[in-house]
C-alpha cells in the first residue's frame, strides 16, 4: 500500500472504510473509470493481504454498530410501550407492588434458563423489599408452553399475588416438559378451582393477555427467554444474580442501569 495512504488510516479507521466499501461498491462500478477503479481495488486488495486482521476489525465494528442500533431501537420500543410493559392489568406482579424499581421478566415455563433464573429472582426479591417484579408469560417453546401460559394466566385471575408466585415457582421447577396437565396439577395442589380454571383458560381475556405479551416481545425484538426490562434497558439471557442486582442498584443510584 502506498505510504501516502497508510499515513491517513489506522487499523480502526481502515476497518470502517472496509465496511463502507461494501456500500459504495456498486456506485464505483457504475461511475469510476476502469483504470481508476482497478487502482483502487489493488490498493484495497494489497492492504488487506498485508493486514488481514483489518477484516476482523471491520466485522467487530459492524457488530458493534448493529448492537448500538438494536439497543437504541429497543429503548424506543420500551418508551412507546411503557404502560403495557410496567402497568398492564394483564400481568402478574410479585415482590413489592409499590416498589421503587421494577424488573420485568419475559419467561417460558419450558425454558431451562428460566428455571435457572428463578433462584436469581427469588434471591433478588428476598434481599430487596423495594423491588417490584413483573412476570410476562412468553410461550415460545411450543404447544405445551402455550397451554401452560393459558392455565397460568387464568389462574392469576383466581389467586392473589403471593399464591400465584407459589404456583409460578412450583410449575417452573417441574421436571420434564410442561403443558396443560402439569399446570393444572400444580394449580389443583394449591387449591384452585380446576373446573373454572379450564373454562377461563379459553376465555377472550386470557387470549388477549397472551397476545399482548407476544406483541410486546415482538416490539422489543425478543426471540428467547429469559429476557428482562429494567428502566429503558432490555437485557437478554440468564445473566445471573450479580449482574441483575448491579443494574438494579445502579437504577436506584443514577436512574440508569449503568452509571
Whether residues 58 and 165 share a domain: the answer is no
What is residue 28's predicted lDDT score, i.e. its pLDDT?
44
Whether residues 172 and 238 share a domain: the answer is yes
Checking if the pLDDT of 1 tops 70, the result is: no
Q: Is residue 259 part of a domain?
A: no
Whether residues 106 and 70 share a domain: the answer is no
Q: Is residue 179 part of a domain?
A: yes
Among 1-5, 214-218, 238-242, which stretch is predicted with the lowest mean pLDDT? 1-5
Beta bridge partners of 235: 228
Q: Among 56, 76, 96, which residue terminates a domain?
A: 76
Whether residues 52 and 86 share a domain: the answer is no
DSSP H stretches of helix in 51-203: 53-80, 82-86, 112-127, 143-156, 161-172, 180-189, 194-200
Whether residues 64 and 178 share a domain: the answer is no
Whether residues 64 and 135 share a domain: the answer is no
What is residue 35's predicted lDDT score, i.e. its pLDDT?
57
Q: Is residue 221 part of a domain?
A: yes
Whether residues 60 and 96 share a domain: the answer is no
pTM of the predicted model, to two decimals?
0.75
**pLDDT per position as a tens digit, 86-122:** 999 888 999 999 999 999 999 999 999 999 999 999 9
Whether residues 57 and 97 share a domain: the answer is no
Question: CA 58, CA 44: separation in Å to the nearest integer?
Answer: 13
Checking if the pLDDT of 7 tops 60, the result is: no
Q: Which residues contact 32 (CB under 8 A, 6 or more apart)?
A: 40
More confident residue, 96 or 20: 96
Instruction: Give, to the nearest 10 degrees, the angle between helix 143-156 and helix 180-189.
Output: 30
Whether residues 145 and 51 share a domain: the answer is no
Q: Are residues 147 and 183 in contact, defined by beta-carbon separation less than 8 angstroms?
A: yes
Question: CA 20, CA 184: separation in Å to the nearest integer?
Answer: 56
**pLDDT per position as a tens digit, 153-164:** 999 999 999 999
**pLDDT per position as a tens digit, 174-229:** 999 999 999 999 999 999 999 999 999 999 999 999 999 999 999 999 999 999 99
Whether residues 122 and 239 share a domain: the answer is yes
Q: Is residue 198 part of a domain?
A: yes
With cell 448492537, the residue in question is 67
Checking if the pLDDT of 50 tops 80, the result is: yes
Q: Is residue 151 part of a domain?
A: yes
Say how many domains are in the chain.
2
Q: Are residues 229 and 78 in contact, defined by beta-carbon separation less than 8 angstroms?
A: yes
CATH number for the domain that contains residue 94:
3.40.30.10
Question: CA 217, CA 231: separation in Å to the nearest integer?
Answer: 16
Angle at 240 between CA 239 and CA 246, to 5 degrees: 95
Query: What three-state secondary structure class fits 116?
Result: helix
Instruction: Give, to the nearest 10 degrees, the angle between helix 161-172 and helix 180-189.
Output: 130
The length of the chain, given as a count of residues: 259
Q: Is the peptide bond before 226 cis (omega within 30 degrees of 0)?
A: yes
Whether residues 95 and 171 share a domain: the answer is yes
**pLDDT per position as a tens digit, 26-43:** 444 445 455 577 888 888
What is residue 51's predicted lDDT score, i.e. its pLDDT?
87
Whether residues 67 and 128 share a domain: the answer is no
| Residue 194, domain extent | 82-254
By C-alpha distance, which of 72, 42, 47 is closest to 58?
47
With cell 378451582, the residue in question is 193
Q: What is the 3-state secondary structure (H, E, C) of 71-105?
A: HHHHHHHHHHCHHHHHCCCCCEEEECCCCCEEEEE
What is residue 228's predicted lDDT score, i.e. its pLDDT?
98
Query: What three-state secondary structure class fits 246?
Result: helix
pLDDT level of residue 52 (50, 70, 90 thresholds):
confident
Q: Among 76, 107, 137, which residue terminates a domain?
A: 76
**pLDDT per position as a tens digit, 123-139:** 999 999 999 999 999 99
Q: Among 76, 100, 119, which residue terminates a domain?
A: 76
Question: CA 93, CA 209: separation in Å to the nearest integer?
Answer: 14
Amino acid at each position: 500500500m502506498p505510504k501516502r495512504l497508510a499515513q491517513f488510516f489506522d487499523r480502526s479507521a481502515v476497518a470502517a472504510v472496509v465496511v463502507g466499501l461494501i456500500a459504495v461498491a456498486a456506485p464505483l462500478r457504475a461511475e469510476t473509470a476502469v483504470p481508476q477503479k482497478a487502482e483502487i481495488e489493488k490498493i484495497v486488495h494489497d492492504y488487506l493481504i498485508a493486514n488481514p486482521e483489518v477484516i476482523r476489525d471491520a466485522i467487530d465494528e459492524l457488530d458493534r454498530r448493529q448492537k448500538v442500533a438494536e439497543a437504541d431501537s429497543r429503548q424506543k420500543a420500551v418508551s412507546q410501550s411503557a404502560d403495557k410493559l410496567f402497568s398492564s392489568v394483564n400481568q402478574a406482579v410479585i415482590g413489592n407492588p409499590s416498589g421503587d424499581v421494577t424488573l420485568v421478566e419475559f419467561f417460558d415455563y419450558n425454558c431451562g434458563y428460566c428455571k435457572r433464573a428463578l433462584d436469581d429472582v427469588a434471591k433478588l426479591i428476598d434481599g430487596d423489599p423495594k423491588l417490584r417484579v413483573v412476570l410476562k408469560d412468553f410461550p415460545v417453546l411450543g404447544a405445551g408452553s402455550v397451554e401452560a401460559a393459558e392455565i397460568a394466566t387464568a389462574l392469576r385471575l383466581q389467586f392473589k399475588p403471593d399464591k400465584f408466585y407459589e404456583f409460578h415457582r412450583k410449575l417452573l421447577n417441574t421436571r420434564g416438559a410442561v403443558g396443560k396437565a402439569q399446570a393444572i396439577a400444580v394449580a389443583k395442589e394449591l387449591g384452585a378451582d380446576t373446573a373454572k380454571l379450564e373454562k377461563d383458560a379459553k376465555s377472550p381475556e386470557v387470549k388477549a393477555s397472551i397476545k399482548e405479551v407476544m406483541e410486546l416481545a415482538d416490539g422489543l425484538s425478543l426471540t428467547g427467554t429469559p429476557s428482562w426490562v429494567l428502566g429503558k434497558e432490555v437485557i437478554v439471557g440468564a445473566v445471573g444474580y450479580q449482574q441483575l442486582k448491579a443494574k438494579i442498584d445502579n437504577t436506584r443510584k443514577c436512574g440508569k442501569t449503568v452509571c
